[in-house]
Amino acid sequence: MKTIRFLTRHLSTSTPTSKLRDHYSFQPPPYLSSDPQKTKSSPNPNKKQKPRYRPPSSLDQIKPKHSDLPFDFRFSYTESSPSVRPIGLREPKYSPFGPGRLDREWTGVCAPAVDPKVKSVEGTEDPELEAKRKLLRGRIQGAPLTEAERKYLVEKCQRNRTKRQINLGRDGLTHNMLNDIHNHWKFAEAVRIKCLGVPTVDMKNVCTQLEDKTFGKVIQRQGGTLILYRGRNYNCKNRPEIPLMLWKPQEPVYPRLIKTTIDGLSIEETKEMRKRGLAVHALTKLAKNGYYSSLVPMVRDAFLVSELVRIDCTGLEKSDYKKIGCKLRDLVPCILVTFEKKQIVVWRGKDSKPPEDGDGEFFDDPSCDMERSETYREPCPDRILDDIGGAFGMGVVGGAAFHFIKGTYNSPGDARLIGGTQAVRMNAPRVGGSFAVWGGLFSTFDCTMVYLRQKDNPWNSIIAGAAMVGLLSMRQGLGAASRSAAFCGVLLALIEGGGIMLNKFLSQPQMPIMMEEPAPNVAGILTQGSSSSSSPSGSWFGGLFGGGRKQQSTASSGSKTEVLESFGAAAVPSFEYK
């Protein structure tokens, strides 16, 4: 019977009814139906069909991009100079923008903006381009920022307010970094730029190139951190077209920095100078990816007492300390002696003179809009919490020291340490809490005055201090609170006024002391120092009555001078400004 049922079930032509259809009203999906063509939806004839995906090919004809930026495209604008002409190329003139993707010809160094058919390696620049850049930058910047607007933008770019930052490293201001700056300007009016490494030797050049290539304005510089403002009339929709470099081009071949013989010296003298340069004490040791803005003034000051200066560059890349040496040669100025053993040895030269302009290394011009925020305070919403924390810490530390001494003094002799510790545990948090209340109220009233007066000056602190003391003294009555507030306001006004007068007095330029006699030689200086140290009475009473210098014995000084001159001491040059 089982065999008959099995054959009947599988050999039967009639389709049995399914229990799913009967009990659950199951409907099969369209792709399982017997006639799939009926369930298939007919396409809309009026709808445009999407083209099939086709992978990109090198045989496709790409329309070259056009950019109206009035400057030559280079890989790095701060680490390359148009005035220095290379002597050769390390690779063929393959454009780093891609073949046929830019309507400018790549010369191996740059893509000039003037003549796209130029074949020269030098890449000369049209003098009219600088005028075009100034005109375009003035049109974008518009009216200059006020002091309140500048401070507001600087506060918005601080680390506690935003994480947007562009890092400028060893390659300096690269071409693709211009596109990153404009991308940041889509969301904020100013962008923070952090500079480290080789470009920080000449921060003035970094600021100049940033303003020249982005048409922005550096509104603050604090160390290696710059705040770059986009301008009043900047429009994100009309931002310039900046084609991107697809790879880093090879650097061309430049003339050697270190020559076989230094100009004006023979081969033997050059070898001897290199040995002496490696033997002198190192002026400083440079850290990798550090901030080197103070290196140029340090070398200039060192040249006043020594003709050779050595800088330790252990840990730096070879290309990095060679670029630093090249910048020192142009900024100090000086003569490069050697790069052996990862050291930079420079010579001041025979007829060396300090630069007459005196500008350069710090780039702190009070006429421009950038400044160094020496006493920076947090913006007002965050200033309250910052002052509360600082006041609490000050109260805890000061109260702990005071009550530890008091508890130790009042405790018995056997338990002085335990008594001092218990006094600190009981009283230090209370004192810290009281200080925190004072600091919080002071900052709250200070921020309120800043909001009401729209100014941040000493009057806000004076009014805030008086209001704080008056509020805390309110339990004693209105009269006592008014007297306490008035006394505190007068006291704070005297303190603020004294501080302003002291700052004005210290900021006045000091008149230089005019020397009647020219600078003597080294032997004379050492002789006068030895004679003055041996006879202190002559230096005091002789200076008072005017006859001390005439009473010096020439015989003793002459003998000491002969001994010093036997060592061959060179004369110290006199650096007189014309």
pLDDT in tens, the chain (578 residues): 556 665 555 555 444 555 656 666 666 666 665 554 554 455 666 777 788 888 777 666 778 888 888 899 999 999 988 888 888 898 888 899 988 888 888 998 899 987 645 444 444 456 678 888 888 888 899 899 999 999 999 999 998 888 889 999 999 999 999 999 999 999 999 999 999 999 999 999 999 999 999 999 999 998 899 999 999 999 988 898 899 999 999 999 998 888 888 888 899 999 999 999 999 999 999 988 889 999 999 999 999 999 999 999 998 999 999 999 999 999 998 999 999 999 999 998 887 766 655 444 444 443 344 444 444 566 676 778 888 888 898 888 988 898 889 888 888 878 888 888 888 888 888 888 888 888 888 888 888 887 787 777 788 888 888 888 888 888 888 888 888 888 888 888 888 888 888 877 765 544 444 444 444 443 443 334 443 333 333 443 344 344 444 444 433 344 333 333 333 444 444 444 44
* Distance in angstroms (rounded) separating the CA atoms of residues 569 and 578: 27
Q: At what angle do helices 203-214 and 175-185 cross, to 10 degrees?
A: 70
- pLDDT for the residue 331: 92
Predicted local distance difference test score (pLDDT) of residue 115: 62
- Name the DSSP class of 338: E
Buried b / exposed e across 81-96, counting CB within 10 Å, b at 16+?
ebeeebeebeeeeebb
Phi-psi region of 341 (alpha: psi -120 to 50; beta: other; left: phi over 0): left
Distance of alpha carbon 223 from alpha carbon 293, whole angstroms: 8
As given in the structure block, the two tokens for residue 509 are 């330029």
Dihedral (Cα; 183, 184, 185, 190), 10-degree rounding: -160
**Measured distance CA(34)–CA(244) in Å, rounded:** 57
Residue 212 burial (CB < 10 Å; 0-12/13-18/19+)?
middle
Residues composing the chain: 578
> For residue 28, what pLDDT is reported?
66
What is the pLDDT at residue 180? 94
DSSP label at 45? T
Q: Which phi and psi (to 5°) does residue 82 adopt?
A: -65, -20
- CB 191, CB 101: distance < 8 Å: no
The CB density around residue 223, as the number of other CB atoms within 10 Å, is 12
pLDDT value for 508:
53
Which tokens belong to 385?
């919490």
